[in-house]
Structure 1
Protein backbone atom coordinates (compact mmCIF):
# COMPACT_ATOMS: atom_id res chain seq x y z
CA UNK A 1 0.00 0.00 0.00
CA UNK A 2 1.33 3.41 -0.91
CA UNK A 3 2.53 5.36 2.11
CA UNK A 4 2.80 2.30 4.37
CA UNK A 5 5.75 2.15 6.77
CA UNK A 6 7.79 -1.05 7.14
CA UNK A 7 7.04 -2.65 10.52
CA UNK A 8 10.76 -2.54 11.34
CA UNK A 9 10.77 1.25 10.96
CA UNK A 10 7.24 2.02 12.18
CA UNK A 11 6.51 3.81 15.43
CA UNK A 12 4.65 1.26 17.56
CA UNK A 13 3.80 3.11 20.79
CA UNK A 14 3.35 1.13 23.98
CA UNK A 15 -0.26 2.31 24.18
CA UNK A 16 -1.82 1.74 20.78
CA UNK A 17 -4.54 -0.13 18.96
CA UNK A 18 -3.52 -2.51 16.20
CA UNK A 19 -6.07 -3.13 13.43
CA UNK A 20 -5.69 -6.02 11.01
CA UNK A 21 -7.65 -6.33 7.78
CA UNK A 22 -8.79 -9.53 6.17
CA UNK A 23 -6.95 -10.98 3.23
CA UNK A 24 -8.01 -9.41 -0.03
CA UNK A 25 -10.10 -6.39 0.94
CA UNK A 26 -7.92 -5.36 3.90
CA UNK A 27 -9.23 -2.64 6.20
CA UNK A 28 -12.29 -0.54 5.45
CA UNK A 29 -11.84 3.00 4.16
CA UNK A 30 -13.14 4.26 7.52
CA UNK A 31 -10.56 2.26 9.48
CA UNK A 32 -7.74 3.47 7.22
CA UNK A 33 -8.90 7.08 7.61
CA UNK A 34 -8.84 6.73 11.41
CA UNK A 35 -5.35 5.21 11.48
CA UNK A 36 -2.30 7.28 12.33
CA UNK A 37 0.02 4.87 10.48
CA UNK A 38 -0.34 2.01 8.02
CA UNK A 39 2.30 -0.66 8.52
CA UNK A 40 3.61 -3.13 5.95
CA UNK A 41 5.60 -6.35 6.32
CA UNK A 42 8.55 -6.86 4.01
CA UNK A 43 8.17 -10.04 1.95
CA UNK A 44 10.55 -12.05 -0.17
CA UNK A 45 9.69 -13.29 -3.64
CA UNK A 46 6.56 -12.77 -5.68
CA UNK A 47 4.06 -13.04 -2.82
CA UNK A 48 1.87 -9.93 -2.61
CA UNK A 49 -0.13 -10.79 0.49
CA UNK A 50 0.26 -12.66 3.74
CA UNK A 51 -2.30 -14.51 5.81
CA UNK A 52 -4.00 -12.07 8.21
CA UNK A 53 -3.25 -14.22 11.28
CA UNK A 54 0.41 -14.53 10.30
CA UNK A 55 0.63 -10.77 9.68
CA UNK A 56 -0.94 -10.06 13.07
CA UNK A 57 1.53 -12.40 14.78
CA UNK A 58 4.50 -10.67 13.11
CA UNK A 59 3.36 -7.17 14.07
CA UNK A 60 2.41 -8.16 17.63
CA UNK A 61 5.78 -9.88 18.05
CA UNK A 62 7.54 -6.69 16.97
CA UNK A 63 5.43 -4.70 19.43
CA UNK A 64 6.27 -7.11 22.29
CA UNK A 65 9.96 -7.14 21.33
CA UNK A 66 10.09 -3.36 21.74
CA UNK A 67 8.01 -3.07 24.89
CA UNK A 68 8.68 -6.27 26.87
CA UNK A 69 11.11 -4.49 29.20
CA UNK A 70 8.63 -1.71 29.93
Structure 2
Protein backbone atom coordinates (compact mmCIF):
# COMPACT_ATOMS: atom_id res chain seq x y z
CA UNK A 1 0.00 0.00 0.00
CA UNK A 2 1.27 3.45 -0.81
CA UNK A 3 3.97 2.10 -3.13
CA UNK A 4 6.42 1.16 -0.36
CA UNK A 5 7.68 -2.02 1.26
CA UNK A 6 6.45 -2.34 4.84
CA UNK A 7 8.28 -2.85 8.13
CA UNK A 8 6.75 -5.39 10.51
CA UNK A 9 7.43 -5.99 14.21
CA UNK A 10 8.23 -9.62 13.44
CA UNK A 11 11.81 -10.48 14.37
CA UNK A 12 13.84 -12.58 11.98
CA UNK A 13 14.58 -15.99 13.45
CA UNK A 14 17.76 -17.45 12.03
CA UNK A 15 19.85 -20.42 13.05
CA UNK A 16 22.91 -18.17 12.68
CA UNK A 17 23.42 -16.68 16.17
CA UNK A 18 25.37 -13.75 14.70
CA UNK A 19 22.08 -12.18 13.57
CA UNK A 20 19.96 -12.90 16.63
CA UNK A 21 19.40 -10.39 19.41
CA UNK A 22 20.63 -11.18 22.89
CA UNK A 23 20.25 -9.93 26.43
CA UNK A 24 23.04 -7.38 25.87
CA UNK A 25 20.84 -5.44 23.46
CA UNK A 26 22.35 -6.38 20.12
CA UNK A 27 20.15 -5.32 17.20
CA UNK A 28 17.84 -7.96 15.75
CA UNK A 29 16.61 -7.86 12.19
CA UNK A 30 12.92 -7.24 11.44
CA UNK A 31 10.87 -8.67 8.59
CA UNK A 32 9.86 -6.38 5.74
CA UNK A 33 7.18 -7.41 3.28
CA UNK A 34 5.77 -6.49 -0.08
CA UNK A 35 7.28 -4.60 -2.95
CA UNK A 36 7.53 -0.97 -3.97
CA UNK A 37 8.00 1.35 -6.89
CA UNK A 38 11.74 0.61 -6.56
CA UNK A 39 11.64 -3.19 -6.69
CA UNK A 40 11.45 -5.72 -9.48
CA UNK A 41 7.87 -6.59 -10.54
CA UNK A 42 8.22 -10.20 -9.32
CA UNK A 43 8.76 -8.81 -5.80
CA UNK A 44 5.65 -6.59 -5.83
CA UNK A 45 3.47 -8.95 -3.85
CA UNK A 46 2.59 -9.40 -0.19
CA UNK A 47 4.29 -12.81 -0.08
CA UNK A 48 7.66 -11.17 -0.80
CA UNK A 49 9.75 -11.06 2.39
CA UNK A 50 13.07 -9.54 3.37
CA UNK A 51 14.85 -8.37 6.51
CA UNK A 52 16.83 -5.36 7.70
CA UNK A 53 18.06 -4.01 11.01
CA UNK A 54 15.65 -1.35 12.38
CA UNK A 55 18.13 1.49 11.87
CA UNK A 56 18.21 1.05 8.05
CA UNK A 57 16.48 3.78 6.03
CA UNK A 58 15.27 3.60 2.43
CA UNK A 59 13.03 5.85 0.31
CA UNK A 60 10.74 2.93 -0.50
CA UNK A 61 10.40 1.37 2.97
CA UNK A 62 7.75 2.49 5.48
CA UNK A 63 5.09 1.30 7.89
CA UNK A 64 1.32 1.36 8.18
CA UNK A 65 -0.47 3.04 11.07
CA UNK A 66 -3.47 1.09 12.35
CA UNK A 67 -6.22 2.10 14.75
CA UNK A 68 -8.78 -0.46 15.89
CA UNK A 69 -12.35 0.83 15.94
Q: Same fold (TM over 0.5)?
A: no
Rg: which structure is higher?
Answer: 2
Say which structure is richer in strand.
2
Q: Per residue, is there more helix in 1 or in 2?
A: 1
TM-score by length of 1: 0.24
